[in-house]
């Protein structure tokens, strides 16, 4: 048994020496919330860095590690391809743009701005790939090391898939007021495809979008506490309360804040965080509620769709709505003379013994049902 163990260790060492300087880059996430598995999107391209970890074996001496991005896995393997011209298919990522230490293989976590992985031509607007090679494609990150034999690609190129196509724009956006809240509804985003058969008859098919992560609600004026809160809100005077919407009554439309969001603002983190209300909904959601709003203040909202790569598209704005007090069923019941008084399962002053016992009985029943074991004869 000891002999077997020694043999395995010895073979492992031999294998390690044989594969010295074999480097393999691995995408292990980004500085700012980029899941290592999903394609990079426009939000990443404009804002995020991707963290690359180089797995290596053998010698830890660092020999001028370079990173190149190519259009397929082997493009950067040949020296003649590594030209970095606009007509090339392999570009070097400038050393100065790579974050992290490159002093030795032992310290091999690098941060690379996502735009250099997606848009290596380097204009930084994340649109060039659209004319260069399409908005949905895969680039490959190769590692080039200088050795005594010259510059060579080592290890396996890392696939960097990207998708810069925005999701379909949410349509039919409407808003209704609540108490300190606005509920916004929209039509589920769909993709329409059309086919024409041999007879020339065209058939249009509408299907739900599959590349969709969810929706955000952005409303103006921004949340209280923001430096600009309220400054772009319209005046409340002149509100026609029974109709609740601006724009459908003469003389009131000018009091409502306008709200249009540009494509650049969609990816401007500061702007987005300032106006966003609540967390992202599910992909299947068709409505969301912005709450903690101020009653009597007019609001206008837009719906932002986000796909799985982080690309965004924005709807036109909703009509203007004014949150106002509502009457919930409890208030209506008590207003009508209902005699029931509230109690609680919580052991707080005023909670009646009977209610507490009943609450305990409910819990005990559940526990008993779960814990019961059927005894077989």
Partner 1 sequence: MRSNVTALAATLAALALPSLSAAQTFELFGSDGAASRHESPQNFAMELRFSPWQPMVDSEFSGSGGGPFLQYFGERDGNGVRTAVRDRLLGALELDWQALRINPIGSLGLGVSVGFSSFTANAPLTATPSRDSGQESALVMVPMSAVAVLRLDVLARRTVIPLVFYGKAGVAASYWWITSGENLARRSAASPSAPTNNAGDFGQAAAGLSYAWQFAAGAMLRLDWLEPRAQRAWDLEMGVNHSYLFAEYMIVRDWERPQLRFGSNTWAFGVAFEF
Q: Which is nearer to partner 1, 15 or 363 (CB)?
A: 363
Q: Which is nearer to partner 1, 223 or 324 (CB)?
A: 324
Within 8 A by CB and 6+ apart from 146, the residues are 63, 64
Question: CB of 193: closest distance to partner 1 in angstroms?
Answer: 34
Q: Which is nearer to partner 1, 2 or 376 (CB)?
A: 376
Residues forming contacts to partner 1 in the complex (CB under 8 A) are 175-179, 181-183, 241-242, 244, 289, 291, 324-345, 350, 352-355, 357-362, 364-369, 371-377
Q: Which is nearer to partner 1, 2 or 374 (CB)?
A: 374
Q: Which is nearer to partner 1, 2 or 348 (CB)?
A: 348
Question: CB of 320: closest distance to partner 1 in angstroms?
Answer: 14
Q: Which is nearer to partner 1, 80 or 341 (CB)?
A: 341
Question: CB of 301: closest distance to partner 1 in angstroms?
Answer: 11
DSSP reduced 3-state for 332: helix
Question: CB of 231: closest distance to partner 1 in angstroms?
Answer: 26
Token pair recorded at residue 292:
């903690």
Q: Which is nearer to partner 1, 211 or 240 (CB)?
A: 240
Report the C-alpha gap between 152 and 143 in whole angstroms.
8
Q: Which is nearer to partner 1, 133 or 334 (CB)?
A: 334
Q: How many CB atoms lie within 10 A of CB 169?
A: 15
Question: CB of 360: closest distance to partner 1 in angstroms?
Answer: 5
Q: How many CB atoms lie within 10 A of CB 187?
A: 14
Question: CB of 93: closest distance to partner 1 in angstroms?
Answer: 47
Measured CA distances, 174 to 94, 185, 257, 284, 319 (Å): 48, 5, 16, 17, 7
181, 298, 317, 309: which is closest to 234 by C-alpha? 298
Token pair recorded at residue 241:
């309360």
Question: CB of 184: closest distance to partner 1 in angstroms?
Answer: 8
Q: Which is nearer to partner 1, 10 or 325 (CB)?
A: 325
Q: How many CB atoms lie within 10 A of CB 332?
A: 10
Question: CB of 278: closest distance to partner 1 in angstroms?
Answer: 10
Question: CB of 185: closest distance to partner 1 in angstroms?
Answer: 8
Contact between residue 98 and residue 114 where contact means Cβ atoms under 8 Å apart: no
DSSP reduced 3-state for 104: coil
Measured CA distances, 210 to 62, 169, 214, 304, 322 (Å): 45, 14, 11, 16, 34
Contact between residue 207 and residue 251 where contact means Cβ atoms under 8 Å apart: no
DSSP per residue over 38-50, as a string? SPB-HHHHHH-EE
Looking from the CA of 103 toward its CB, the CA atoms found within 13 Å total 2
Report the C-alpha gap between 246 and 300 in whole angstroms.
10
Measured CA distances, 216 to 224, 259, 287, 298, 315 (Å): 19, 15, 10, 19, 11
Cα 71 to chain center, whole Å? 26
Question: CB of 361: closest distance to partner 1 in angstroms?
Answer: 4
DSSP reduced 3-state for 149: coil
Q: Which is nearer to partner 1, 91 or 215 (CB)?
A: 215
């Amino acid at each position: 048994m000891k002999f077997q163990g020694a043999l395995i260790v010895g073979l492992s060492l031999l294998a390690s020496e044989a594969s010295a300087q074999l480097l393999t880059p691995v995408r292990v996430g980004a500085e700012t919330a980029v899941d290592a598995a999903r394609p990079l999107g426009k939000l990443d391209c404009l804002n995020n860095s991707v963290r690359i970890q180089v797995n290596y074996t053998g010698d830890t001496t660092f020999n001028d590690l370079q990173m190149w991005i190519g259009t397929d896995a082997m493009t950067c393997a040949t020296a003649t391809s590594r030209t970095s011209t606009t007509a090339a298919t392999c570009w070097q990522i400038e050393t100065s743009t790579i974050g992290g230490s490159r002093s030795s293989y032992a310290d091999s976590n690098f941060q690379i701005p996502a735009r250099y992985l997606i848009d290596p031509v380097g204009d930084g607007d994340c649109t060039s790939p659209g004319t260069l090679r399409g908005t949905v494609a895969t680039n490959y990150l190769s590692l080039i090391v200088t050795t005594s034999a010259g510059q060579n690609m080592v290890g396996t190129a890392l696939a960097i898939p990207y998708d810069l196509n925005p999701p379909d724009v949410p349509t039919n956006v409407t808003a209704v007021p609540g108490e300190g809240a606005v509920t916004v509804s929209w039509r589920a985003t769909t993709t329409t495809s059309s086919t024409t058969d041999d007879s020339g008859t065209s058939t249009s098919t509408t299907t739900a979008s599959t590349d969709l992560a969810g929706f955000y609600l952005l409303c103006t004026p921004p949340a209280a506490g923001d430096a600009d809160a309220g400054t772009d809100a319209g005046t409340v005077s002149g509100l026609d309360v029974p109709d609740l919407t601006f724009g459908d009554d003469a003389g009131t439309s000018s009091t409502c804040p306008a709200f249009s969001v540009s494509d650049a603002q969609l990816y401007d983190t500061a702007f987005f965080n300032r106006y966003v209300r609540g967390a992202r909904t599910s992909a299947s959601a068709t409505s969301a509620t912005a709450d903690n709003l101020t009653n009597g203040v007019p609001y206008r909202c837009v719906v932002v769709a986000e796909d799985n790569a982080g690309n965004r598209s924005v709807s036109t704005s909703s009509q203007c709505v004014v949150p106002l007090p509502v009457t919930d069923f409890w208030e209506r019941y008590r207003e009508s003379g209902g005699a029931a008084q509230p109690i609680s399962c919580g052991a707080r002053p005023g909670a009646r013994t009977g209610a507490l016992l009943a609450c305990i009985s409910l819990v005990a029943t559940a526990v008993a049902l779960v814990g019961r074991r059927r005894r077989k004869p």
